[in-house]
Amino acid sequence: MILTGSDIVIQSIIDEGVDLVFGYPGGQVINLYDSLYKYKDQIKHVLTCHEQGASHAADGYARATGKVGVCIATSGPGATNLVTGIATAYMDSIPLVAITGNVPMNLLGKDSFQEVDITGITMPITKHNYIVKDISKLQAVINEAFYIAKEGRPGPVLIDIPKNIQIEKTEYKKIKPWKIERKEFTIRDKKIQEAIELINNAKNPFIYVGGGAIAADASEEVIALAEKINSPICNSLMARGVIPSDHELYTGMIGMHGTKASNISATKCDLFMALGARFSDRVITNRENLSNAKIIHIDVDAAEINKNIKVDLSIIGDLKSVLQRLLPNVNEAKNQEWLDSMKNLKSLSAYKKSKGEELTPEYFFEELNSLDPGNLIISTEVGQHQMWTAQHYHFKKPRTFITSGGLGTMGFGLGAAIGAQFARPECKVINIAGDGSFMMNCQEIATAVQNKLPIVQVIMNNNVLGMVRQWQTLFFEGRYSNTTLDRQTDLVKLAEAFGAKGYRVNKKQELRGILKEALASKTPVLIDYRIDNNKKVFPMVAPGAPINQIICEEDL
């Protein structure tokens, strides 16, 4: 069958199982969009308000499903508007394929209108990228790109297609997607046996689980290991939901805003097991913090081993496969004294309970947890509200917390919520934002309204850039340089102008009824939740400090 390049692109991504893409048309992808029109019975396109929104929506779709998210943009500013979204996916290991158009090949390198070297720009933030200069290779490139995005440690791939390649014609023949297999060939039996011995000899084991457990679909195996050896277990921000919040062995998040139970247990354990996690600067990068422990690091990416912390034993390979080999051979353990000390630490609070009529983030999540219908997916922007969400919402399942961890992208959450809501229409998606983050991509409310998505947009509105202000309070003697917003925007009227419902919460007694209405709504809802601008995220560890040097609210 002879097809144009643009038809081959759309037919090829359909062959990869894609039925939904996000994007924004332009001159150098007009042929691709013509092909999308031809294939509209097989693939849906969601028009966002901005290309960045499209990239975040594709990312949210991927996080909510484990499938590859796809976004499309034109050349020049269209392509560069994808960069933040691509970098976000790269830092959090999210499978994404970004397709961009470019000027015809005879105009490349001539500073043509809307020409940009997008492959050069994105080289450091993609697993791989391509510029297709031969139409006979186009189909194979797409086939390979989807494999690379999903294989091993997932990540984004970019395909740049000059306009003349979209117009030219060549033979198309359906190709089966490359089979994705778990990375097991790197797993060494000797290493497995050494890990078993370390685990069986441990008296005070501690498990630190990261986002790799979600990518590997290894939640059941992680919990099974913790239960078999009675090990306390904590998570990074990216692994929220791997273990239910109410599990008796769960100690909470670890790191800069981790719980006392997690941070102190890490420094007192004799075996520290990092499962599908990297040792980031927001968690732990100082080996002295773990001086009492042997460290086992299991990860699919060899580049992460010994990158930030030198470990005693590493196993490189798919986490689910590694744990399935370990589990039958580790001994059951009680570790009662160790568990009792962990329970005592869990009882220590790091923040003051709200009193009277003061609206607080903790109160919001108390109400949301009590009304939780059991089908919620929570996305966030980046800042204080993100940490409050991770600390106080009771996550129960993987792929229900969608947030930008590594890059910390303000403006991420609403686009990601749109992608997640399309991906899982049986769920209710709530995006938690600060007023600073919300304004970065608030226009995507229009996308939610246009597509009748029942997203609930919650704004923890404190009229400041809360996380930066918190640092200014603690480390810069209260010099609030450009973090006080005091914008005059009426967020309820803004929501209504976009066609959504808007509510404002000023008093505690208003919240429950508004939340009930929002959770029942079939259309987008915005809740303007007013909190004090001095409210801070606790506990907190100062940058570079040992993780057991914890700042709590009473310390102020």
* Residues in CB range of 188: below 8 A, 6 or more apart: 315
Catalytic residue, chosen from 51, 221, 304, 444, is 51
CA distance linking residue 385 with residue 361, whole number of Å:
8
CA distance linking residue 423 with residue 542, whole number of Å:
38
Catalytic residue, chosen from 40, 113, 358, 516, is 113
Measured in degrees and rounded to the nearest 5, phi and psi for residue 194 equal: -65, -40
Active site residue 115: no
SS3 state at 101 = strand
CA distance linking residue 275 with residue 226, whole number of Å:
11
CA distance linking residue 484 with residue 531, whole number of Å:
14
Task: Tell me which H or E stretch contains 86.
Answer: helix 83-91
Catalytic residue, chosen from 127, 163, 183, 191, is 163
Judge contact between 67 and 36, C-beta under 8 A.
no
Judge contact between 348 and 260, C-beta under 8 A.
yes
SS3 state at 501 = strand
Task: Tell me which H or E stretch contains 274.
Answer: strand 271-275
Active site residue 114: yes
Q: What angle do CA 473, 477, 481 make, to 5 degrees?
A: 70
Give the bridge partners for 313, in sequence order: 296
Active site residue 163: yes
* Cα torsion angle, 186, 188, 189, 195, sign: negative
Q: What angle do CA 78, 80, 83 make, to 5 degrees?
A: 120
Question: Structure tokens of 452?
Answer: 């009748």
Catalytic residue, chosen from 38, 105, 114, 443, is 114
Q: What share of the chain is helix, strand, coil (3-state, %, to 5)?
A: 40, 20, 40
Which of the residues are catalytic?
51, 113-114, 163, 467
